[in-house]
Chains A and B, each alone.
Chain A
Amino acid sequence: MPLTAETIIQSLASGLLMGLLYGLIAVGLALIFGLMDVVNFAHGEFLMIAMYATFFLFAFFAIDPLLSAPLVAAALFVFGAVVYLLIVRFAVRAKANAGMVQIFSTFGLAIVMRGLAQFFFTPDYRSVTHSWLGGKTVSIAGVFLPVPQLVGALVAIAAFGALYFFINRTDFGRALEATREDAGAVALVGIDKNRVFALGWGLGAALVGLSGAIMAMFFYIYPDVGASFALIAYVTVALGGFGSVFGAFAGGIIVGLVEATTALILPPSLKSVGIYAVYLLVVFVRPRGLFGSM
């Protein structure tokens, strides 16, 4: 393909939009990890559930994804909190091999969720057809920007802003921060650790819910859809530095841009190699990712 200024700008623009969305998908993971050092291996399946929720709200109640996004986020908030209370609470309590128990209890959950999705929703491929924004695109000087992704990018920026404000300026945010630093000490000042963690999981899942609603506008939906995004989300978070919300934001943008530009140089089937190589380069130089705090 000829490397004209136009194709390069288009690549960068598309990469940036996709990257912001990757960041939004990944930030819930970063938040939960920062709070309690747990990596949720069912993160992709949370996304899948959110996309199905958006789809069914659209199919049965004709609610446009743009309107249902807050509803889906709220539903995922409850779901995330319930997953914490029913499973993760016990996983972090494990005396032995805490790390492995977390990985495999959430991994097992991922398998169950896929099975349940297949059981209740059938393995058919679904799509939200005819949403307000779906399929719309704007063109600026020959560069095309799809409206759903554009809105997704704006939502991502807004969500990151809100999250930043929330963590640094609200009581709950301070409780999160304090619990994260010393879970034992906060218990002394009367903060219930489990409640804070449950709310943290809820918040993390709500952010996935938000991205799921946006994704549903332009992506197909089926029980295994989360798998395509899960690995990218982990790499995004690790690249930015575990526990850093800003890191997830920056990580997402970098992943998006690297993916888009790798495809200009290498055959597109190898474009993920670019993402992986950048991750390795970064952690070999900075073993805690770009903005890792610990």
Chain B
Amino acid sequence: MDTTFAQRRRRDLIVAGCLAAVAALVPLFVKDVYVQNIMVLTLMYAALSQSWNILSGYCGQISLGHALYFGLGAYTTALLFTKFGVLPWFGMLGGGIISALIAMALGYPCFRLRGHYFVIATIVIAEIGLLLFHNWDWAGAALGIDIPIRRDSWLTFQFTRSKLPYFYFALALACIAWLVTWWLEDSKWGYWWRAVKDNPDAAESLGVVVFNSKMGAAAVSAFLTAVGGSFYAQFVSYIDPESVMGFQFSLLMALPAVLGGIGTLWGPVLGAVILIPLTELTRSFIGGSGRGVDLIVYGTLIVLISLARPEGLVGLFSRRRKGAAR
């Protein structure tokens, strides 16, 4: 059992390495900026969904308020840069730390809540954040923050036309989020979480340590999400409360993991690779009709996938593997 587990983990690592290497080569052949843009978004959502999956999938604390951390990351970076000239790289770190601290402060009272009470608590906390930013004049309030375009530079992480730097950053972020998840699966925390899932009574005896591990998961998840937010601010170079902290964003972060397979290593990646191009393409090529057809197609697919593959699309792969093993 242990050997197969270790084997599987080693194989996962090798597969991930190969995929990342292949992904890194893709932009050398695909030069269309529109397609590159979709690839950047796909990687970004893969990273975000992977981070979300740590808290909500593995740890079982379903959060629909991760837009809060995403927005905090984006705002910290943009505010530090436009108001104080602090380079976005420090903003990224700062935003991540702030978000992690806030996630722990919020986790303390919230982790006592169960099921939908927890979910709704995360939603309303993010909404409170959104409303506060909407009314905070110093942070631009509704006007948002327009990050001025200067010349291309890695220092300010700004590139006028090229998507490649953003692509590689997003790829790196997705890889880091994946590696953190991979590492957590085999850590003490990972074992506790599985134990709690398999046997809720074990939660009682493990009470304190499990609680602490949840706080840890919240902090890691929030940190990575905030880095994603910082990235988004640099990538789009304009942020406003609605577009970085809106409820829709929380759902968009959860969707890839849910469709791909919640609480699985590969689910968020798979989900993002399918969902994000689908969203973008339906909007671009049927959205222009103005009749809502893109919404109908997109919504129908969500319903069908979640009904037909409740364990997520990764189920398709594991089933085949099982078949092959037999």
Contacts and interface: CB of A to CB of B under 8 A. Distances in A.
Given A234-B123, A238-B116, A269-B134, A112 B299 contact: yes
Interface in A8-55: 33, 39
Given A112-B296, A270-B135, A104 B302 contact: yes
B295 interface: yes
Interface string A123-160: 10000000000000000000000000000000000000
Interface residues of A, number: 51
Interface in B294-319: 294-304, 306-307, 310-312
A191 B198 CA distance: 32
Given A97-B262, A276-B127, A111 B310 contact: no
B296 A280 contact: no
Contacts of B306: 91, 100-101, 104-105, 108
B312 A97 contact: yes
Tell me the interface secondary structure of chain A in the complex: helix
B44 interface: no
B296 A115 contact: yes
Contacts of B303: 87, 105, 108-109, 112
Contact of A289 (B109, B117, B294): B117
A117 B295 CA distance: 10
B295 A87 contact: no
A97 B127 contact: no
A278 to B, nearest CB: 10
Interface string B120-150: 1101110110011011000000000000000
Contacts of A273: 128, 131-132
A249 B76 CA distance: 41
A230 B168 CA distance: 39
Contacts of B300: 108, 112
B127 A284 contact: no
Contacts of B294: 115
Given A108-B299, A109-B303, A115-B293, A280 B121 contact: yes
A238 to B, nearest CB: 5
A277 B129 CA distance: 12
A39 B299 contact: no
Contacts of B125: 276, 280
B247 A231 contact: yes
B291 interface: yes
A287 B295 contact: no
Contact of B117 (A115, A116, A117, A242): A242
A288 interface: yes
Given A231-B247, A288-B117, A105 B307 contact: yes
Contact of A109 (B113, B263, B299): B299
Contact of B124 (A33, A109, A118, A276): A276
B196 to A, nearest CB: 16
B299 A280 contact: no
Tell me the interface secondary structure of chain B in the complex: helix
Nearest to A96: B311
Contacts of B293: 115, 119
Contact of B131 (A95, A100, A269): A269
Contact of B120 (A111, A113, A115, A279): A279
Contacts of A95: 310-311
Contact of B115 (A96, A97, A99): A99
A113 B128 CA distance: 28
Contacts of A100: 62, 258, 262, 306
Contacts of B255: 104
A283 B299 contact: no
Contacts of B134: 269
Nearest to B315: A96
B307 A91 contact: yes
A107 interface: yes
Contacts of B259: 104
A101 B302 CA distance: 10
Contacts of A279: 120-121, 124
B117 A283 contact: yes
24 contacts: A94-B310, A96-B311, A97-B262, A97-B311, A98-B310, A100-B306, A101-B310, A103-B258, A104-B255, A104-B259, A108-B301, A114-B292, A115-B294, A115-B297, A119-B293, A231-B247, A272-B127, A273-B128, A277-B128, A279-B120, A280-B121, A283-B121, A287-B113, A289-B117
Listed from nearest, the 4 A-B pairs whose CB atoms lie closest are A115-B295, A111-B299, A118-B292, A108-B302
